[in-house]
Amino acid sequence: MSTNQPLTPEDVYAEAILAFVHRKPGEQGQVEKIRLRKTGPDDVRVRIDSVGVCHSDLSLSNGTLGQKMPAVLGHEASGTVLEVGQDVTTVKAGDTVILLWNPSCGECWFCKAGDKHLCEHAADNTQRPLALDAEDNTVWAGLGVAGFAEQTVVPARSVMPIEGIDPDQAAMLGCASTTGVGAVVNSAKVVPGQSVAVVGLGGVGLSAVQGALLSGASQVIAIDRSQERLAIAETLGAVAVEAGEDIAKRVRKLTGNRGADAVIDCVGAGATIRQSWQMTRRGGTTVVVGIGSKDDQVTFSPLELFYFSRSLVGCVAGGGDPGTDYPRLIEWVKSGQLVTDGLITERLALDSVEDAFDRMKAGSGGRTVIHPSAGPLS
C-alpha cells in the first residue's frame, strides 16, 4: 500500500482493538475502538505489552510537535509479534520485540554514511494510515509506532527481537534508555575521568546519568527542580543539585571553576540550553537531547563562540546504530549495570494516559509505563 493511499473498510481487520486516541492538538484523548490496517507483505502486527510515556508524546498531544490527527501516540514500546507479512524474515509470531520509532532503512545516503539515526525514511510510517475509527475516519500512528493501543501494525524494520528482559525493561530501551545513554556515549563521547552534568531528570535524563557512570565519568551532576527525581538520581550514584537561576555558577564551582566536560540537556528549552552552555567548560561539549518548541530561541554571541570553543551538538535517538547499540544496552540491563525498571515509578492502564501526562507536567516521578492489555483502572 502506498504511503498516501487512504484505507477502506476492506483494508482493515474486522476485529476492533482498544486504543487511546487523541483527536485534536491540545484536547484530551480517550480510549476508543479502532480497526488496524491488515498486515502487508513487509509488516508486523504486534501486541503491545508495555509502553513508556515520554515527554515527546506530551509534545505531540499538545501541538508543540506536529502530528497528523486523530492519532494513537506512544512510541517507547515493547510487545509480542502476533503476525508477520509474507516477506518478513527477521521476526516470527511469538517473538518478543522492541518497537523502533526511528528505524533505519540501511540504504539512504545517511545510513550509508554511518548516520543511521538520521535515516531519510525513519518517519515513513507516520505518513501511512494506521487504522479506521468507528466512523471509518483515518487514524494515524504517533511517531510511526502507536504504542498506546492493545496492538499495532508497523514495518518489519521497526521491530527488533530481544530476549531475557521483561516487557517494562524492554519498553524503556525503546526510547528513554537508548536516547539518554546514547547522548553520553555517542554524542558527547564521554571518556573515563570526565565530569558530566545532566539537566532534566525524566526517563531520558536518568538514563543519561547512568550512561555517564557507565562511561567512567568521575563526577556526575544531576539537575532538576523535582526532589523526587533528584532522589532517584542520587540512588544511581549522581550528585543531586536543585535547578535554579544560578545553576551554571554552582556547577562551575563543583568542577574546579571550569565547568563540566559534557552537559546533557534533556529539557530542550531555550533557557536550559543557554544554562547548559554556560555550565560547560571551555572546549567541552553541550548536547541537546530535549525537543523544544520551534518558536523558542537561544542566542550566542560570535565572541563567546570563538572564546569558549565549546561544541553544541544535537542528539536524535541517542545518535547511534540500533544494530550495535541495542545488544550492548541489553547486556547492561541483564547484568544490572543499566537500571531501566528501577526508573519506573508508575504502572497504569490504557485509560490513564492523560493521568501520566499530568504527572509529567507536574514533574512528578521518573517514568510512567502503560500496560495496554491490563484493562481499565478499578
The predicted-structure confidence for 98-121, as pLDDT tens digits, reads as follows: 999 999 988 999 999 989 999 999
Domain shared by 135 and 24, yes or no: yes
What is the mean pLDDT, run by run of 10 residues, along the chain of 378 residues?
71 93 93 95 96 90 89 95 95 95 92 92 92 94 94 95 90 90 94 96 91 95 92 92 92 94 93 94 95 86 94 91 87 88 87 91 84 66
Q: Note the pLDDT of residue 376.
A: 52
Residues 352-361: contacts with CB within 8 Å, 24+ apart?
352/377, 353/20, 353/29, 353/53, 353/73, 353/74, 353/148, 354/28, 354/29, 356/53, 357/53, 357/57, 357/58, 357/61, 360/53, 360/55, 360/58, 360/202, 361/58
Which one, of 103, 131, 139, 130, lies nearest residue 118 by Cα? 103
Q: Note the pLDDT of residue 63.
A: 86
d(CA 116, CA 105): 8
Q: Note the pLDDT of residue 1.
A: 40
The predicted-structure confidence for 41-75, as pLDDT tens digits, reads as follows: 999 999 999 999 988 899 899 888 888 999 999 99
pTM given for the model: 0.88
> Which burial class, exposed, middle or buried, applies to 205 when counting CB atoms under 10 A from its CB (0-12, 13-18, 19+)?
buried
Domain shared by 256 and 112, yes or no: no
Containing H/E element for 50?
A: strand 43-52
Domain that holds residue 40: 9-165+340-371
Domain shared by 53 and 181, yes or no: no
* Distance, C-alpha 128 to centroid of its chain: 21
Domain shared by 201 and 303, yes or no: yes
Which one, of 314, 255, 298, 300, lies nearest residue 280 by Cα? 255
Q: Note the pLDDT of residue 377.
A: 46
Domain shared by 149 and 196, yes or no: no
The predicted-structure confidence for 266-284, as pLDDT tens digits, reads as follows: 998 899 999 999 999 999 9
Domain shared by 142 and 36, yes or no: yes
Domain shared by 99 and 241, yes or no: no
d(CA 341, CA 72): 24
User: Residue 362: which CATH number?
Assistant: 3.90.180.10
